[in-house]
Structure 1
Amino acid sequence: MLKGVVIVVVIVVALLAILWLTQRRLIYLPDNSAVPPAADVIQDAEDVTLTTTDGLELGAWYIPPQADERNVTVLVANGNGGNRASRAPLAEALSEAGFATLLFDYRGYGGNPGDPNEDGLALDARAAYNHLVDDRGVSPDQLLYFGESLGAGVVSELATEHPPAGLLLRSPFTDLAEVGQRHYPIVPVGLLLWDRYPVAEHVSTVDVPTTVVYGTSDSIVPPGLSQDVAAAAAGPVEEVDIEGAGHNDSVMFGGPEIVDAVVGLAERATTP
């Protein structure tokens, strides 16, 4: 009997150790099967190189507005999968709606050097911010942050240091441990995680117009977590629920509901 218990304990401890050691492979899912193409796959887009304070060079695209320029720029922070090429439809839709957009890839994504982690992605976002503000002269009061899922954690943290005019969080979670606990209920996720992304905590300190967008059929980030983020936000909040949409449905990557949400946020955030 005792021997059997010991064997079970050893197996459980071994499995937890494997999860602890490999957790970032489960969190960060870059698609490096092909480096993103040149920016000219999008009309008038420019290839950009961002330099982080720890010396990494990251690939990015700057996409100018095509019509009805709003004098508003959107900094997009991707979710945990793919690379900037899969966000091209979003950038094109925003460009057609009059927005300039910066798409960039984190370290370890899109052929970039480095390995992704929470502290590193924070540096990557600051490199994107610095490029827009310092190199392109974008005023922070004409700058929106768009964070997609994990990217909501990235931009909400950035906003605590550099508040934007407005913050759009698409499929955000309260914190990464809460998502993990929903998917792995018998694993002590909170004790194992190195990277936390406490979105709700960050937005509770950022008093800017905020829009929270989520799909009602999201099976990856439950809608309730996104609603909790909206409830925690310090600034005036608008919730946009996209009926029947899942986490990775095409409508969530530049569909009309997403673009309308950005337009609405821009009007709330930048209109005197």
Structure 2
Amino acid sequence: MQSINSFFTNAQQQITSLYGFQDALLFQPNEPDTSRTIVQTPDMFRMPYETITIETPDNEKLHGFLIKQPSRTSERETLVFFHGNAGNIGHRLQNAHLLYRTCNINILLFDYRGYGKSTGMPSESGLYTDALAVYDYVRKRNDLNQEKIFLFGRSLGGAVALHLASHLAQTNVTPSLYCVIVENTFTSIPDMAKRLFQVAVLDYVPNWCYKNLFPTLSKIRHIKAPVLFLSGAQDELVPPQMMEKLHEECKSSKKHLAIFPDGQHNTTWLSHDYTNQIRNFLAECDRQSESTASNAN
């Protein structure tokens, strides 16, 4: 009996510890330690940009950059970039420059609440609120092509982007999203906890024991926009099988899973053919959009 009591006591302690430390494990805005004080700007890559501030309904102020192509700006696609769980938008500038240069797109980079120069503290519901506020901001920009707004999310950012896309699909917001692109994204936080901690008792822990859920797998089933899944086969953090599962459960009539054999969690964007996959997918979305418009006429 003592051993059974000991088992349940240890299990309870593990669950309590997991709940208490979830935010610290999931949200890492202070990594590296200068992330809240130093945010590099797009001019280091000679990209023209505006510094923007987006106010959320709960009065947080999100800091961001709107990087626009120097010519035919209003004809280009605009990517809204949802970054991962650490650092700030300055750490994504090299990646943004690659996409800006090879895909000829506009890019909006922003920091979630509690990251970079944005106010507040991160939380699951807070990040969802931020995502919708940024989306609403983009939709008010009459210098951007409103028919070609798309979302890009990496890791945690993919979960936030998919939540937003799911919300927009379920509320039938128009104009619809051009497409969604996610990279090395997980199916849910409980699934990731089982993967990272490898504690048998977690198989029996109900979801209400988790402070953060990010139930991406359930959200993906509502999305109607085209979805491109970018998966690093050598991802050491998020099992590539999770990306395969997301692709499998996606109900969009246009979806594609691109696997990069040498891609790791944070370096898949450096893989061979990475930008070609994105550029080709955008071209397919353009053809589909033109075909839909033609049929409507």
Q: Give yes or no for TM over 0.5.
A: yes
- Which residue type is aligned with residue 241 of structure 1? I
The aligned runs of 1:1-272 (5 Å cut-off) are 2=2, 6=5, 9-30=8-29, 31=31, 33=34, 34-42=37-45, 43-65=47-69, 71-96=76-101, 97-162=103-168, 163-186=176-199, 187-188=201-202, 190-191=206-207, 192-235=209-252, 236-249=254-267, 251-252=268-269, 257-271=273-287, 272=290
CA RMSD between the two structures: 2.2
- Which residue type is aligned with residue 54 of structure 1? D
The alpha carbon displacement at 1:195 in A equals 1.8
Q: 1:46 to 1:39 in 2, by over 3 A?
A: farther
Counterpart CA distance in 1 for 2:146 and 2:206 is 35
Q: 1:158 to 1:87 in 2, by over 3 A?
A: same
2:43 alignment partner, SS class: helix
The alpha carbon displacement at 1:93 in A equals 1.4
CA contact (8 A) 2:66 2:108 kept: yes
Counterpart CA distance in 1 for 2:9 and 2:244 is 40
1:200-243 CA-partner distances (Å, limit 9, x unpaired): 22221111111100100112111111011111111111111111
1:176-213 CA-partner distances (Å, limit 9, x unpaired): 21122111221426543122222222221111111100
Q: 1:208 to 1:5 in 2, by over 3 A?
A: closer
Q: 1:29 to 1:107 in 2, by over 3 A?
A: same
Counterpart CA distance in 2 for 1:247 and 1:67 is 34
The alpha carbon displacement at 1:135 in A equals 3.0
Q: 1:215 to 1:113 in 2, by over 3 A?
A: same
The alpha carbon displacement at 1:8 in A equals 5.5
Counterpart CA distance in 2 for 1:190 and 1:137 is 47
Counterpart CA distance in 1 for 2:8 and 2:190 is 24
CA contact (8 A) 1:78 1:84 kept: yes
Q: 1:26 to 1:63 in 2, by over 3 A?
A: same
Structure 1: state its 5+ residue gaps: none
Structure 2: state its 5+ residue gaps: 169-175, 291-297
Counterpart CA distance in 2 for 1:140 and 1:232 is 28
Counterpart CA distance in 1 for 2:111 and 2:142 is 19
1:48-105 CA-partner distances (Å, limit 9, x unpaired): 1111111110110111125786610001111112111111012111221310000110
CA contact (8 A) 1:39 1:47 kept: no
CA contact (8 A) 2:78 2:145 kept: no
Counterpart CA distance in 1 for 2:258 and 2:275 is 11
- Which residue type is aligned with residue 227 of structure 1? E
Q: 1:136 to 1:91 in 2, by over 3 A?
A: farther
The alpha carbon displacement at 1:267 in A equals 1.2
Aligned length: 269
**What TM-score does the superposition give when structure 2 sets the normalisation length?**
0.83
Counterpart CA distance in 1 for 2:93 and 2:245 is 29
Counterpart CA distance in 2 for 1:248 and 1:190 is 30
The alpha carbon displacement at 1:11 in A equals 4.2
CA contact (8 A) 2:80 2:151 kept: yes
Q: 1:5 to 1:159 in 2, by over 3 A?
A: closer
CA contact (8 A) 2:187 2:243 kept: yes
1:4-41 CA-partner distances (Å, limit 9, x unpaired): 66555444423321221121111111135233134433
The alpha carbon displacement at 1:116 in A equals 1.1
